[in-house]
Amino acid sequence: MTPIRPLSADQLYRPCRADQLGFRTTEELERLELPCGQTRALEALDFATGIRNDGFNLFVLGPAGAGKREWVQRFLERKAEAQQRPSDWAYIYNFDAPDQPRALALPAGAGRRLKRDVDELTDELRNSIPATFESDEYQSRIQELQQAANRRHREAIEQIQHEAEEQGIALLTTPSGFTFAPKKEGEVLSAEEFQKLPEEERNAIEQRVEQLQEKLQQSIQQLPQIQRELRQQVRELNEEMVLVAAGTPIRNLKDAYSHIEGVVAHLEAVRKDIIENVDALQGDKHGRHSAMEAVLERYRINLIVDQSAQTGAPVVYEDLPLHQHLVGRIEHYVHQGALMTDFTLIRGGALHRANGGYLILDALRVLQQPMAWESLKRALSAHTVRIQSLERLYGLASTVSLEPEPIPLQLKVALVGDRFLYYLLAAYDPDFLDLFKVQADFEDDLPRTDENQQDYARMLATMAHQDKLRPLTAEAVALIIEQGGRLADDQEKLTAQARMLRDLLVEADHWAARDEAGAIDAAHVERTIEQQRYRAGRVRDRTLELIQRGTVMIATEGEAIAQVNGLSVLQLGDQAFGRPTRITATARAGRGQVLDIEREAKLGGNIHSKGVMILSRYLATRYAREGALSLSASLAFEQSYGGVEGDSASVAELCALVSAIGRAPIRQSLAVTGSVNQHGEVQAVGGVNEKIEGFFEVCRGAGTLDGQGVLLPEANVPHLMLRREVRETVAAGQFHVYPIRHVDQALELLTGLPVGEADAEGGYPEGSLNRRVADRLEAFGRSVRRQSQDDNGEGGGPRTEEGDTSPRGGDDE
């Protein structure tokens, strides 16, 4: 097998040359309007905003921290600038059904003018109507009507009185009303005098009085009719007077808004209502809830959407998507201990404000709020916004409320979330894909081409400008581009994590301010990276301390059988670090089982268990093609007390197991990472930079940087972006990074023995590692066969079992 050559220092990192960027500071660069390297997502956005069919709303998916919402909002704002402003919307009083306010659509910007004009109208009516009724003209005409009514009544009484006088009878007024009394010689007769009259004369007088009383009664009965006629005349006068006060301003408003049918109809309804409520408008000035104020309040315009400040279609981002923040709400006030409301307390929601444009929502936040998701779906399905409170939706309402007329809805909704949430909704919500037919999938990273590096620099310049930071020098930008490759774990990629880059710029600007520098340079960026690593490094440093003190046993020199240094990565917040882990194996005669101790202890995950199964099948295929594998083995991660997941240690586990079987010592100066398949090929794994640096720090802390190194999959070489101190140590020949394609290469490097190729008969060369393993397995087979014979009564006597290679000795199974 061809010897494996370690990688050179140049292969461990891809630098960015500042002199090739073409600028001195980012002040020279144009701002970046759209994200670089996101062609797929931008085309999806363009498609979704261009198609007008139902259901083509957006779900913007991608990694957290990629700046999806900001880029989407910027894209939509550019689109919206070229679109028409949508209508204003207002609620007005419904004179036919007061509990069902009417929705009124108005041309963009007209709502504010109408509201102002109607407010001025009500203010004018508040003053002019009472003034009209207090005028001399009105009082004079009222007096005339009253005098006319009184005169009619008086004339009727006087006529009866005159008739009575002619018949010698007087009409007297008493506290209880009118009465008749006979007269003689101009004097009213007393009762005694009346009784002294002849009977015939008395009867005649009584008959005349009875006739006069009937006429008087008829006159008195006409009095209510006269009063009714007076009230009708007063009402007609009031209507005439109120129209004098209100007719002209209402007519002027109707003329001004004659092109808006709904406004004209509302003003006509206001005019009729003024006439019907003329009594309440005559001067009650005792506050908002007085009769006059209650009537005037009905004429107001409740403007819930005002597009007067818009230059195009609205783009609305609702950061707290509660149910009431989406569909609107109805507020209440307390009156005499009860909750009351009216149409002026209707408040619009984000759907109202975004109507005719675009609404951006955080998908997870919508799902976290009660009824918000259902309300959003209902609005999109029905193409209307219906304002309903949560208590009414749940059937818990006991207060007076309203049922406002639904408003037609025409908009695009862009939900922003991660991929997992998108797939969950697509799988479990049957309405989701009908309403959100377009997915805009943002890339986690972008190709590191010369063009994208230039766009990356423009993106950094844009961020610095937006956050009012100092400009960056070309050297600082070059270092951030390199850090972008590190964050992407790829020499050919740049991270799209806008949040991390923005945080990096803000911190670098802080250090530049401390140095009183006019621009952010490479030293400030480097200091920021080191400070971020230092602040998040307590667990890492504690782990290194435990290894250096021997509490956690990791050997970085010498040799050991059935023991290898594996590598793992711990992710803590936004920082990750690698650490070595001792992996050990035992092997003895058995019947082909490989025990995964992590799995048995319920510490191993499914992927790790799969890796152990794969390597056990590889062993069986290589060394027991024609028969059973006479092996009982175990694998363990020593001093690992948490969960173990992933298959990136399967190469190390296989090497430890082969060492245990063949009793071949393994170099402890090397650590291994990589996944193995059933054919022994080494597959790429994640976190290679952190793993290499983790083992490097352990070796440096132990003072053993003299030929140590790491074996990693050859497929991971393009992912290397190692820190400077590692590269310098590699360049000095004190630390090595070996790329491997097959597990045999790892075994040769670790054991120093040739693996050996099988001949035509399946045998291996003398002195090769495979020969040692095959011999040991053959010995295990003989031991198993003897045991089987003894169990069947074909042998007897004491037996010494051969082949136990447990480092701890004895049978641990």
Span 480-519, pLDDT tens digits = 999 999 999 999 999 999 999 999 999 999 999 999 999 9
The residue-averaged pLDDT of 606-622 equals: 90
Q: What per-residue confidence (pLDDT) applies to 794?
A: 55
Q: What is the pLDDT of residues 663-678, one digit of tens each?
A: 999 999 999 999 999 9
The residue-averaged pLDDT of 620-641 equals: 87
| CATH number for 375 | 3.40.50.300
Same domain (yes/no): 423, 374: yes
Same domain (yes/no): 497, 435: no
Same domain (yes/no): 488, 356: no
Q: What per-residue confidence (pLDDT) applies to 394?
A: 74
Instruction: Identify the domain boundary among 413, 442, 471.
Output: 442
Is residue 273 in some structural domain? no
Residues near 15 by beta carbon (within 8 Å), at least 6 away in sequence? 478, 482
Same domain (yes/no): 647, 624: yes
Which tokens sit at 602? 């319920």
Determine which one of 493, 634, 691, 783 is catalytic. 691
Same domain (yes/no): 410, 384: yes
Of 173-187, 245-259, 594-608, which gets the smallest average pLDDT? 173-187
Is residue 94 in some structural domain? no
Q: What is the DSSP code (8-state) at residue 20?
A: G
What are the C-alpha distances in Å from 101 to residues 266, 329, 637? 12, 13, 71
In the predicted model, is pLDDT for residue 232 greater than 80?
Answer: no
Q: What per-residue confidence (pLDDT) applies to 412?
A: 97
Q: What is the pLDDT of residues 100-155, one digit of tens each?
A: 999 999 999 999 999 999 999 999 888 888 887 777 787 788 788 777 777 777 76
Residue 435 pLDDT level (bands cut at 50, 70, 90): very high
Is residue 588 in some structural domain? yes
In the predicted model, is pLDDT for residue 249 greater than 60?
Answer: yes
Is residue 745 in some structural domain? yes
Q: What per-residue confidence (pLDDT) applies to 540?
A: 94
Considering its fold, how many domains does the chain have in total? Answer: 4
Of 42-51, 143-152, 295-304, which gets the smallest average pLDDT? 143-152
Using only the alpha carbons of the chain, give its radius of gyration.
48
Q: What is the pLDDT of residues 554-578, one digit of tens each?
A: 999 999 999 999 999 998 888 899 9
What is the C-alpha separation between 360 and 670, in angstroms, rounded? 52
Which tokens sit at 346? 């209707």
Q: Is 128 a catalytic residue?
A: no
Is residue 114 in some structural domain? no
In the predicted model, is pLDDT for residue 419 greater than 90?
Answer: yes
Question: In this structure, how many other beta carbons lie within 10 angstroms of the beta carbon of residue 798?
Answer: 4
Same domain (yes/no): 325, 350: yes
Residue 289 pLDDT level (bands cut at 50, 70, 90): very low
Of 173-187, 241-255, 405-419, which gets the smallest average pLDDT? 173-187
Q: Is 650 a catalytic residue?
A: no
Q: What per-residue confidence (pLDDT) applies to 528?
A: 97
Is residue 330 in some structural domain? yes
Please state the φ and ψ torsions of residue 259, each to the nearest 5 degrees: -80, -5
Which tokens sit at 387? 């304002």
The strand ranges marked E within 198-312 are 302-305
> Listing from the earlier edge strand, what are the strands of the sheet with 438-441?
315-318, 358-362, 412-417, 58-61, 438-441
Range of the domain at 165: 132-256
Which one is predicted more confidently, 288 or 281? 281
| CATH number for 695 | 3.30.230.10
The residue-averaged pLDDT of 71-77 equals: 94
Q: What per-residue confidence (pLDDT) applies to 334?
A: 84
| CATH number for 512 | 1.10.8.60
The residue-averaged pLDDT of 22-33 equals: 93
Q: What per-residue confidence (pLDDT) applies to 565?
A: 97
Instruction: Identify the domain boundary among 403, 420, 442.
Output: 442
Q: What per-residue confidence (pLDDT) applies to 144?
A: 82
Determine which one of 648, 659, 675, 768 is catalytic. 648
| pLDDT, the chain, mean | 88
Buried b (16+ CB within 10 A) or exposed e, 305-317: bbbeebebbbbbb
In the predicted model, is pLDDT for residue 92 greater than 90?
Answer: yes
SS3 assignment for 622-677: HHCCCCCCCCEEEEEECCCCCCECCCCCHHHHHHHHHHHHHCCEEECCEEECCEEC
The residue-averaged pLDDT of 154-179 equals: 69
Is residue 341 in some structural domain? yes
The residue-averaged pLDDT of 262-271 equals: 93
Nearest to 201 by CA among 187, 215, 183: 183
What are the C-alpha distances in Å from 63 to residues 60, 66, 465? 10, 6, 24
Which tokens sit at 781? 């087979």
Is residue 290 in some structural domain? no
Same domain (yes/no): 770, 680: yes
Residue 283 pLDDT level (bands cut at 50, 70, 90): low
Share of the chain above pLDDT 90, in %: 62
Same domain (yes/no): 701, 653: yes
Same domain (yes/no): 673, 569: yes
Residue 44 pLDDT level (bands cut at 50, 70, 90): very high
Q: What per-residue confidence (pLDDT) applies to 238?
A: 76
Q: What is the pLDDT of residues 363-418, one digit of tens each?
A: 999 999 999 999 999 999 999 999 988 877 776 666 667 899 999 999 999 999 99
The residue-averaged pLDDT of 682-706 equals: 94
Residue 799 pLDDT level (bands cut at 50, 70, 90): very low
Same domain (yes/no): 456, 512: yes
Same domain (yes/no): 702, 779: yes
Q: What per-residue confidence (pLDDT) applies to 173?
A: 66
Instruction: Identify the domain boundary among 238, 256, 274.
Output: 256
Same domain (yes/no): 559, 700: yes
